[in-house]
Amino acid sequence: MQEILDPEACTTMIEVRAGVDAVDAALVALLKRRFGYMDAAARIKPERGHVRDEARKAQVIDNARAHARAAGIPDAAIGDMWETLVEASIAYEFEAFDQR
34 among annotated binding-site residues: yes
65 among annotated binding-site residues: no
Distance CA 10, CA 5 (A): 6
43 among annotated binding-site residues: no
Distance CA 4, CA 33 (A): 23
Maximum pairwise Cα distance, the chain: 54
93 among annotated binding-site residues: yes
Closest Cα partner for 82 from 67, 96, 65? 65
From the annotation, which residues make up the binding site? 17, 34, 45, 93
Annotated binding site for substrate: 17, 34, 45, 93
